[in-house]
Chain A
Amino acid sequence: MVQSRQSFGAGQGGFRQAQSWLHTWCGLWFSWLLFAVFLTGTLAVFEEPISHWMTPEHHADEAKAADAQASVPAVSLSQRLQWGLAYMERHHPGATMWELWPADPQGGGDLRVYWFDAKGQYAAAQLDPLTGEELKAQPGARQRQTLGGHHFVTFHYELHAGQIGLWIVGAAALAMLVALVSGVITHRRIFKDFFTFRPHKGQRSWLDAHNAVAVLTLPFQLMIAYTGLALSSLTFLPAGMVTYFGADEAARKDFVTRLNEPGKPQRSGQPMPVPNLEPLVLRGQKLMGQPVRAVVVDYPGDAAARVGVYGWNDAQELRRRLSPTTGMVMFSAASSEVLQLRQPGGVEGGSPALTQSVIGSLHMVNSGGLLLKWLYFVCGMAGSAMMATGAILFVVKRREKHLTEFGGASAKVYRLIEGLNVAAIAGLGIACISYLWANRLVPLGLTHRDDWELAVFFVMWLLALVHAWLRPPALAWRQQMALLAALCLLLPVLNVLTTGDQLLAYVQEGDWESAGVELTVVAFGLAAAAAWHRMRRAPAITVRNRRNVTLPAATVTVAAAEQKGLS
């Protein structure tokens, strides 16, 4: 959005003008959705800390578990494996897969078991690591049922709408790549303006900001859009899979099995008890050089059964490599022979599989550690700012110089776009912070409590849209920014009132996940308050600029309404 155009349509003007047209319209129509995808995707970088903050009841459990672990004698890995196996033999003898998570990397921690139930669904149970008995949820225990930070992950790639959502976000990601490339071509003085940001200059400032955040983080923006698309390449480009495997559900299942579980045997029908797992686990640990994380038994009770031993990645080591896979050793249950060996970071399936693993890791920032997550967060916020400033620039440009791109309906369409801008940018911020408020305010024990939290997110967003269209744009901006600031700045207060947890106490206890969430929210609150403060002074500039141009009647009415609302 660098050049203002007098003529319209991609076909008119030169190549650069055609790219400018493409950038403007492709960018505009997708900017609201892309902003939502980017902002929630950026928050999803810190999925775990957000989930941690949203489940305060677990903090006490975690502390208690840590104390208990320190004060009681450790139970051996061998005993844990035996308990896990005994539980599965007693309760789920017919399951097609058993999965035991015997211990954490230090040999302590939880003892968990998973299996595929009769419907083929993944099911789980937790066993007491001191007795091997199943731990049932205590009656009367109040659990805070929540999607936690995972809401932002799911929303940013499928909008909570399954396959349809995935396709919509995919289309948006493709549009983003188009907008990025056309934007670079359009940006005539990309090197000259590299570090340029001229504040307090109206449209020029918005353009500078849009260019700066985009150009300076361009490698990240290209990478994240491309890897996001490539992650779901099987959905978007299914032709190869369909050609070789077929189009029905069974074919897809077959493909996924061959991709993820190569060499999986067929059930033989000959019964054979599951062997003692400990010798296999000890051999597996030695071969892959990692402590055991999971033991997976395919077809337990059958002679064709196989036992996979998976390792724990070492956090230090994971920081240093791009492929986040763990070590794995697959044994034949009958002969104890090694069927497959995967070293940490390796993949089955050669370079294409490794490429896919790395693409996934690059997008989801699975390796590199905390500092890389913060770099992603900063670049992700810059990307969100790129969409927001682009969308705002579109309107600001047309406020100062009215273009008749939609004929007689231009003023109405611009008004619609401006309303969408307010709701998509400030409104989404309100929806996100309201989701955290809902976590503390929706009563515990409510059926489908997590859905209520989600409902608050969507309802607040919808209300923001209605508000943005009912109020004059400048007033809508100001009011929504004020609400956003208030909700962010008051979140720590709400937390004290509802759970008794304090920001300072988090810091003192070294709970940096919770403290980080609240400090970041407060920082956003301060930024929103500063934006609100600026907006209170901004109308004077807008009005002064308006005096110099001839506006159609409809715009004058909107401007007058704005002034009325603002006075």
Chain B
Amino acid sequence: MSDTYLGMPSFPQAAKASTKDTRLRANLTHATRTIRDKRARAVAELDDWAQLREAGKRIKDQTLRHLDDYLVQLEQQVTAAGGTVHWAADAAEANRIVADLVKATGETEVVKVKSMATQEIELNEALAAEGITAYETDLAELIVQLGDDRPSHILVPAIHRNRGEVRDIFTEKMGEWGRPAPEGLGDSPAELAEAARLHLREKFLRAKVGISGANFMVAETGTLVVVESEGNGRMCLTLPETLISVVGIEKVVPTWRDLEVFLQLLPRSSTAERMNPYTSLWTGTSDGDGPRDFHLVLLDNGRTDTLADEVGRQALRCIRCSACLNVCPVYERAGGHAYGSVYPGPIGAILTPQLRGTASAIDASLPFASTLCGACYEVCPVAIDIPEVLVHLREQVAEQGGPGHRAEHAVVRAGTWLLDHPAALGAVVRLAAKTRKLHPKRLPIAVARAWTDSRDLPRLPQAPFRDWWKKNRP
């Protein structure tokens, strides 16, 4: 990932502000609860959800084990179907490839299908630096782009905005990007959707270059798949003359048969729909139908490093459904921006530090941005054990000994010694109990204050359990 987000404060600091933003909290709570309940109902409709989940997990794991083979097969099939495959080791390389491809067409505007991969590499900013304007066409992405904002959710990037805020953004900003919002725009969903439709239609019909990601790539035929709810993506995939797709290497599946599993898991987990309204599949190019030029940019950007980690690699199973965000109590209170990455929430807390490393304050704090409550693992349609990976990454961060962790390590070492010497432990606990009347209710040192700012300390008992036992059960 590129470095716009670097320099973000650590998660606890970023969350300090968002937990106190009552409008943000209300928007998030309303949205996540609605989708969470709908998802639970949609999943409950299927008797074989557990088997589907297991199948999804197995297909992804099997593919990841032989990723090199499937990617080579994919490249052969895409090439045979008239497409061109490019390999990008990192964000800079991917952005360079895409910018050169666009420049070769002579165009200075592109339309975009909502794509996490292009956000991850910050393609829009890279294109802008080359004098190319990228127009987001997904409704929520449009809101984020017009509002000069950052996405805060994988599926619903503008989840932190309510209807009134969207109306204001449309009214103020649409004119700067193209067709202005209609006079006297209201904040009903129908009016807002119509304003976006009129604004975007102009761009679809003018565009010569489209840029997309993909939800899946099928190795056996070289086919790419995008699923969506609005149909705006399909406009971008079919109308332009040139189509450039930037896709993470982990998105490959071996066969068409595998899609059957994921086309059930993904929509129910993400939008709580039985089937997503639009499923677009394309294989290379064909005369007189769709783009005449097709480029696939296969993006690594930290993925092979992630694959090398035995515990952490399961994060690459992720199909970006965002179910984990919608059930996460930490995400709900902190908001997506606090995660300092295009991948927020529980999956972001394990994916981002693996893709980017844990050198920065924000990346080192992400593995700790969870209570390990397990709700994310429970809803994950490909059974990523997010708590397990979080703990694994915490170990890496603790070992690298960044700010706070050296002192913490010393405390843990002393604590472990004490816990391995029951007699000494008993003496400490006993002393604490004996002096309990002297303990203040609020403590001055930082760690203790973090507790006592909002909670009272427990009252210590007269004696520990082990003393009671010795006295009463001799």
Q: Are A and B physically bound partners?
A: no
Chain B: residues with CB nearer than 8 A to chain A?
none
